[in-house]
A and B are shown apart, each in its own frame.
Chain A
Amino acid sequence: MYRYDEYDHAFVAERVAQFRDQVKRRLAGEITEDEFKPLRLQNGLYLQLHAYMLRIAIPYGTLSSKQMRTLAHIARRYDRGYGHFTTRQNLQFNWIKLEDAPDALADLAKAEMHAIQTSGNCIRNTTADHWAGVAIDEIEDPRIWCEIIRQWSTVHPEFSFLPRKFKIAVTGSPNDRAAVRVHDIGLRMLRDENGEPGFEVIVGGGLGRTPMIGKTIRPFLPKQHLLSYLEAILRVYNRYGRRDNIYKARIKILVHEIGAEEMRRQVEEEWEGLRDGALDLPADVVAGIGRHFAPPRYQPQPTIATETERLRFENRDFALWLRSNVVAHRQPGHAIVNLSLKPEGGPPGDASAAQMDAVADLADAYSCGEIRVTHEQNLVLPHVAVADLPAVWRGLTLIGFATPNLGLVSDIIACPGLDYCALANARAIPVAQRISQHFADLARQHDIGELKIKISGCINACGHHHVGHIGILGVDKNGTEFYQITLGGHAGDDVSLGSILGPAVPADQVVEAIDSLVRTYLAVRQDGERFLDTYRRVGNTPFKERLYATA
């Protein structure tokens, strides 16, 4: 894991002091709310429906047990005892007081954390594959590059007042688990003909009200040029991105309007003036960052974990959990354990302070002190010995994080929606809770198989509904909540945007509608087909006919 050195420590402490002074001047009326807004936003502080919300950066979704305990402490001390993990691998606290925010940030700084640039029109937290460093299909650990990007983008003097927010995602595997094609910049690691790793550079993807799939503007970028190339893209965007209309200000609109080829030309031209300069990444600098992400010292493991095998045969719940929540690890005798923050009927992504502490304890005992946050609002213990799986499962069961539903119909992504968010048109969390309750039968969920439902409470699409196998979008019709359904979205390598099925359905019919879609799938699926496969084969029609015939 990355550890701060004296420079990082000093910088974050200075940032806290700076914000403390800004808050003081705001409370004294020396700066207007309009002028204060970008300052607080770039420190992660939003004004929401009921209170300030503090969004804490979890760079590329990696946390130490100590950091998790700090988050628990913040939840208890400054909030109402719980937090909410987001689709950008961050954590949000929804009940923060403005005058407490500098103290909360100071506590975070002690644990090498911050809330810098988790909001505002700047470069946001860089996201990555949540199985980084342990996935068996990985070329290189993407977190090395994310950390390099994090440092370069931190209080970047040129790019702190961009036309709009800017999100970068990196995947180190050919199998994209970071949704790189729906980010402002997606970086996908691959090898050139000599076997050298580098990046495919994808620009202009995004969700929101105008969903677009990113375009590849450079099929292969050697690693040492990463920052100069990013700086070239950001400079073109900063100068020419639209600023006349907030809804057309993301880079995807610029790419769409001038075309991918012209975008590529402008970026390459700008890059000619930047490459091989001060942003060049010497191998020793990369290696210096890379050492932080060296694999932990794994203990030797027996070839057969007897107790794990025994329990698998004796306990159906454990076996189910192994099947859906535990995946293969690069190190023999180890496994990646996915924690479900989607208990039956619970709000997706919520964790209490007690649950955070318990996860930290489990990480210390069984996962080399390391935890990951996924963009699907779950957590991961990345380094668990197969022999320890029964103990980990028991520990997770006690805190309600062992629901064996990863990737299944109740593993729902939902934005905070109208329960918290000032932008929302409709509630999202209660819809997720009702769908989750309806499909509570785990055997049925496993029979249905992989099915990703994603819910957004408004067109800004924080719940990623465009890339849900089933996407649900809350809309407001004359003061009443309705939900528009899309089918066939997907965020992996074979990315696709969902298409609208038909008229939006009223709130009290959403569960029935989802049930109808699932039944249609079960009726027409062929052997081995997931929901997405069936949909891609048969299209909207059978789903539409059945849904709107019964509605």
Chain B
Amino acid sequence: MPLLKGGALIDDPWQRLADDTALPADGAVIVSFARWRAEREVLLARSAPLGVLLKNTDPVDALAPDIARLQLIALEFPKFSDGRAYSQARLLRERYRFGGELRATGHVLPDQLHHMRRCGFDAFEVAKGDPVTAWRRAVHTFSAVYQPTGDGRAPVSALRRRLLAAAAD
């Protein structure tokens, strides 16, 4: 599946490794959370990039101690209407300061990119449609936002404060 990243479609450099597939000596791999738990030492001993795929019921805090050693975390949307991964994403970015690639996988719809991006996702396995156009829509639809999240956009309340401060100067 093509991967949407940085507003463009790219070839996915990562290999999704099934639990019963032998670990290759090198190459970037994404393993399940279960495998991560079982083979953590071996996985961390490799020199190649490592990613973990979390189900939306897996505990994100379990990755916290090793967060800096992971280059990718993938979060799953089993159905577009199941929004648990949005909370996982914000926790990973904002509480555990995860700085690697945060990937949305599963039933990822173009009309949800705006929300995902605001929650900290930066790579998307988009199931259908024209992802590049969808990305442009997601980036440009709203000129202002009302919530502070980890995406760094100043919410409307902060913009108003700045205006007031500027007026007072």
- Confirm or deny: B45 has a beta carbon within 8 angstroms of a beta carbon on chain A: no
CB distance from A232 to the nearest CB of B (A): 11
B146 touches A155 (CB 8 A): yes
- Confirm or deny: B156 has a beta carbon within 8 angstroms of a beta carbon on chain A: yes
> Given A157-B114, A285-B157, A285-B161, A243 and B146 touching (CB < 8 A)?
no
CB distance from A266 to the nearest CB of B (A): 13
- Confirm or deny: B111 has a beta carbon within 8 angstroms of a beta carbon on chain A: yes
Q: Which residues of B contact A39 (CB under 8 A)?
A: 111
Closest to B84 in A: A239
- Confirm or deny: A99 has a beta carbon within 8 angstroms of a beta carbon on chain B: no
A425 to B103, CA, bound (A): 44
Closest to A160 in B: B115
B84 touches A238 (CB 8 A): yes
Q: Which residues of B contact A439 (CB under 8 A)?
A: none
State which residues 8-52 of A face B: CB under 8 Å: 8, 10-11, 14-15, 17-18, 21-22, 30-31, 35, 38-39
Q: Which residues of A contact B137 (CB under 8 A)?
A: 18, 21
Encoded as 1 (CB less than 8 Å from any B CB) or 0, chain A from 151 to 189 comes to 110111111111000000000000000000000000000
A157 to B118, CA, bound (A): 6
- Confirm or deny: A278 has a beta carbon within 8 angstroms of a beta carbon on chain B: yes
CB distance from B28 to the nearest CB of A (A): 28
B148 touches A278 (CB 8 A): yes
Q: Which residues of A contact B109 (CB under 8 A)?
A: 35
- Confirm or deny: A121 has a beta carbon within 8 angstroms of a beta carbon on chain B: yes
> Given A5-B160, A157-B119, A288-B160, A279 and B144 touching (CB < 8 A)?
no
7 residue pairs of the A-B complex, CB under 8 angstroms, read A18-B141, A151-B157, A156-B147, A158-B147, A239-B87, A278-B148, A282-B161
Chain A residues with a Cβ under 8 A of chain B? 5, 7-8, 10-11, 14-15, 17-18, 21-22, 30-31, 35, 38-39, 121, 151-152, 154-162, 235, 238-239, 243, 273, 277-279, 282, 284-285, 288
Chain B residues with a Cβ under 8 A of chain A? 80-84, 86-88, 90, 95, 109, 111-112, 114-119, 129, 137, 141-149, 155-157, 159-161, 164
Task: For the A-B complex with A161-B83, A284-B161 known, give 10 more contacts whose Cβ atoms are closer than 8 Å.
Answer: A5-B160, A14-B141, A14-B142, A121-B81, A151-B156, A156-B146, A158-B83, A160-B83, A161-B112, A273-B95
